[in-house]
Structure 1
């Protein structure tokens, strides 16, 4: 079977976000955790493959190297088009990593042009006149300006990407996009003639993304958030189908692990606790002091799992995070929490958890690696950008898992996600 689309995602939650949109549009999707060793020697039972990297916040040179390894593997699988996926809030710094990875992929593919748009209107991410909006506010005025690793203070994506690339960056504005795919193609050809190597594309609705998807048919490389995924499958004749999202029936106990510091996840934690559900807070300072916080969290979980979902979280407000980072250092604090939550995840599996919600990109990466997960079958959507997935565990068990970007989902996500899984699998 031909793999039509090969996707390289710069974090784990973003990978499932992208895969979710492809499945909704009718493609059967496999998500791989990091680049498999060797080439794709066996035919893949999928229309699209997503390789999830942990490259969003690594040094730019490391992100480029990892992305090129993923591209080499995609080529061995015979993919027809490459999709570089980044966050819908364009998370990066002036040093990268979006620009350097984009240019490295362009060079490797021998293409002189690509598009860039993080727009995902279903989750309130829109691009107008080259400026990124988060809900009703500009990116630089949103909560992303306080992000501990990639603070975003400039909303002008032409400026942001231009600071990271050697190639000139242009704009395909909304008047062109609204006129349709053919007009987008004309604008692209005009930009190429001017020597522009990448163009930010406006999108304020799903219809805009569908028009853009048709316009980039045959382009060797596209770069975007997950939104553009809704406009690409039709280029190969795919249409929405429930069969694309079917997973095995769920079983086992239920738990939530949250390491995100986003405003949305903070709200989800508060709602879970407010509802009187069992929750254990992981304190980085206690970890640093040598306390067995993971053991305490697992003892707490063991006492409550029979009651329903248990939450283990390190989620805190931006001010609290800054305070901890000031005492321990940003890198050390993050590493301590990730290692602890990964240890908790392994322990939860031993306690019979087979339905697991994980919140936060860095946390998701730590958890899937700790559990030895190498691939995921993408299933039904829980909320925009967030699907349930199924992973095979050693011994033949199936783990149903969702890897949620910190910014996604409503206040009740931690409980409604399990309700969605019941009845949506076959």
Structure 2
């Protein structure tokens, strides 16, 4: 294994795996830290954790455990992947994890670049934009778990870590890989350890990737990985063999636990089309009134592509959090979707589309999936996946971060997971 990646959630990890696969690496995504070694053919391993919204100390411990496993697989470069909207709180978890990994690897000039232009995330003057809006004006300021109230990445990061922070400006990025490498060295000489790097396009990310040839550690969204495979290819280290993909027939069910603007639009499009939909409320989940077997039975009996969702608007989410507590509501909904997913797999489902990073993590963990095959891209940041639950039959999955995908993502995902 050449490149070792640590993702702080499951959808982001599949996004990263998709990016590396498209650039020609043989990739396997692992659910949690594996207990056995990886196959010799794996060139990039992505360890998907569920560490974005847990206490910072736990996130650091899990990330260091993943690092040790990846080191044991022979990796020479490491990437800490987080969301392209830098989802975190003033306490973490991005800063504490990045700091711990840098210390463990004795790494300097550690790039911080959540840019993902394909999904509208860009960095200019150290500020993160979502399309034409600053991050804190994009709707992310209302995120139920990690409200982002400051678009200045260096300033937000400085609240999470004591490591000195630097910045590589856009003119230096646009000047190409050599200028980027020189700017990183200059920031390092001034004492910066974590260095925010501007990026407005995929071409910028490719140049940044070239500049990071030989870097021990880098951090960012999936876009920061775009230029890395070419470095290994120039050294003759890649096999050049592409991945294969086979769709799965059978019933498709959509599970949506995301409250993001994009996902609520996708839920609305589904319902406007007259397709079957069943809403789960926070009250139902917290009270324990939900019957996963009955919900799975309802879904399997529907014609078309049934949707089970809890994608409420921000006001409803806040009301539920105030009534029951933020962590209790989140945990109850995640457990509910994991139980429903298990019931669906037991009933013989063929395809599962999951919206929301926390929901996706709960579903993958609930199904006991340990490794996922990377398939074709459904939308930027969302590839098709295939795995086999213990004792079950293969299932094709789409794990979608909340804000990713267009209005018809559910239908598009279903078609690709089927193999069309």
- Out of 268, 271, 278, which is 2:269 matched to? 271
**TM-score scaled to structure 2, two decimals?**
0.96
Task: Name the residue aligned to 1:181.
Answer: 177
Quote the Cα distance in structure 1 between the aligned partners of 2:136 and 2:327: 24
Task: Name the residue aligned to 2:316.
Answer: 320
Cα contact 1:25–1:241 (8 A) shared by 2: no
- Out of 122, 139, 150, which is 1:126 matched to? 122
Coordinate RMSD, CA, aligned: 1.8
Secondary structure of 1:244's counterpart equals coil
Quote the Cα distance in structure 2 between the aligned partners of 1:257 and 1:150: 21
Decide which moves more: 74-83 or 413-422.
Answer: 413-422
Cα contact 2:252–2:352 (8 A) shared by 1: yes
What pairs up with 1:351-362 in 2 under 5 angstroms? 351-362=347-358
Decide which moves more: 377-386 or 292-301.
Answer: 292-301
Unpaired runs of 5+ residues, structure 2, are none
What is the Cα deviation at residue 422 of structure 1? 4.1
Quote the Cα distance in structure 1 between the aligned partners of 2:24 and 2:288: 49
Task: Name the residue aligned to 1:219.
Answer: 215
Quote the Cα distance in structure 2 between the aligned partners of 1:242 and 1:124: 30
Distance 1:245 1:266, change over 3 A: farther
Number of matched residues? Answer: 418
What pairs up with 1:327-346 in 2 under 5 angstroms? 327-346=323-342
- Out of 187, 204, 211, which is 1:208 matched to? 204
Distance 1:343 1:242, change over 3 A: farther
- Out of 55, 58, 70, which is 2:54 matched to? 58
What is the Cα deviation at residue 302 of structure 1? 2.8
- Out of 7, 19, 32, which is 1:9 matched to? 7
Distance 1:258 1:187, change over 3 A: same
What is the Cα deviation at residue 310 of structure 1? 1.2
Secondary structure of 1:106's counterpart equals helix
Secondary structure of 2:350's counterpart equals strand
Quote the Cα distance in structure 2 between the aligned partners of 1:162 and 1:281: 40
Secondary structure of 1:339's counterpart equals helix
1:109 aligns with 2:105: yes
- Out of 409, 413, 419, which is 2:409 matched to? 413
Task: Name the residue aligned to 1:257.
Answer: 255
Task: Name the residue aligned to 1:281.
Answer: 279
Task: Name the residue aligned to 1:379.
Answer: 375
Unpaired runs of 5+ residues, structure 1, are none
Secondary structure of 1:256's counterpart equals strand
Cα contact 1:7–1:82 (8 A) shared by 2: yes
Task: Name the residue aligned to 1:151.
Answer: 147
Quote the Cα distance in structure 2 between the aligned partners of 1:93 and 1:403: 23
Cα contact 2:355–2:400 (8 A) shared by 1: yes
What is the Cα deviation at residue 43 of structure 1? 4.1
Secondary structure of 2:242's counterpart equals helix
Quote the Cα distance in structure 1 between the aligned partners of 2:140 and 2:34: 33
Cα contact 2:286–2:333 (8 A) shared by 1: no
Cα contact 2:247–2:416 (8 A) shared by 1: no
What is the Cα deviation at residue 252 of structure 1? 2.1
- Which ranges of 4 or more aligned residues in structure 1 deviate by more than 4 Å? 238-243
Quote the Cα distance in structure 1 between the aligned partners of 2:286 and 2:97: 35
Secondary structure of 1:107's counterpart equals helix
What is the Cα deviation at residue 325 of structure 1? 1.1
Secondary structure of 1:353's counterpart equals coil
Quote the Cα distance in structure 1 between the aligned partners of 2:321 and 2:242: 43
Task: Name the residue aligned to 1:23.
Answer: 21
Task: Name the residue aligned to 2:93.
Answer: 97
Cα contact 1:286–1:293 (8 A) shared by 2: no
Decide which moves more: 202-211 or 234-243.
Answer: 234-243
Task: Name the residue aligned to 2:30.
Answer: 32
What is the Cα deviation at residue 347 of structure 1? 1.0
Distance 1:78 1:241, change over 3 A: closer
